[in-house]
Amino acid sequence: MRIDVVSVFPDYLAGLKLSLLGRAQADGLVDLAVHDLRQWTHDRHRTVDDTPYGGGPGMVMKPEPWGEALDAVLERGSAAGLPSARLVVPTPAGRRFDQPTAQRLADEPWLVFACGRYEGIDQRVADHYAERLPVEEISIGDYVLSGGEVAVMAIIEAVARLLPGVVGNPESLVEESHAPGEWSGLVEYPVYTKPPVWRGLAVPDVLLSGHHANVAQWRREQARRRTAVHRPDLL
């Protein structure tokens, strides 16, 4: 999968070079490029924002640098022979991101992320590109971040670990929270490792019993209990 990210804080995305995602890039499973939006400004102050039409607080990102940036990124990818891109615009006003959305994005060959800052990007940018390719405005939850960078990191991490070969043992994707299949609609059961007693707290006996059916039943009960307490909306 090819991923392009455009941001005024490209260094923010440096974390994507680490851990599982760093390995995925080294292995050639993910080809990730981060671009500085200010490359596509032409004034001395490298201006990317301006006051909102209609008044109100804050600043809005100007459309011209975004147009030049996205044209360049899309042109480069097409020239390299990539099939069509999907543009993702992170915004608290977007559609809520969830595991099915992560799976749907993981099935795409090429994702381009446009990270807004301030009060957001001039709406004409999303509207213009929607005439040229699929565009999705996505929110990662009901709270406000100062910019799209952290949201994009969350989305990319959720998407990349679904790509074949990125997670070493694909079975670990099966029983985790929000996974599709027999565990769908339940958050994950609690997990334990050695030692058997830590600070006076013992690992539940059933997990040491070696009785697989009882372990499976206990885990399902625990997943249901946790879901009822933490996420009654899922039941």
Identify which of residues 69 and 151 has a Cβ nearer to ligand 6GU in the complex: 151
The stretches of the chain forming alpha helices (DSSP H) are 19-26, 63-79, 99-106, 123-130, 149-160, 205-208, 212-230
Q: With respect to ligand 6GU, which residue has the nearer C-beta, 12 or 183? A: 12
Q: How far is the CB of 181 from ligand 6GU (least distance, A)?
A: 27
Q: Between residues 37 and 138, which has the closer beta carbon with respect to ligand 6GU?
A: 138
- State CA 71 to chain mean position distance: 23
Looking at the chain, how many residues does it have?
235
Residue 198 in tokens: 């830590």
Q: CB of 66: closest distance to ligand 6GU in angstroms?
A: 16
Q: Considering the complex, state which of residue 53 and residue 143 has its C-beta at the smaller distance from ligand 6GU.
A: 143
Q: How far is the CB of 164 from ligand 6GU (least distance, A)?
A: 26
Distance CA 39, CA 35 (A): 8
| Smallest distance from ligand 6GU to CB 25, Å | 23
Binding site for ligand 6GU (CB under 6 A): 90-92, 94, 138-141, 143-145, 147-148, 151
Is-contact 83 136, C-beta < 8 A?
no
Closest CA to 68 of 26, 134, 128, 136: 128
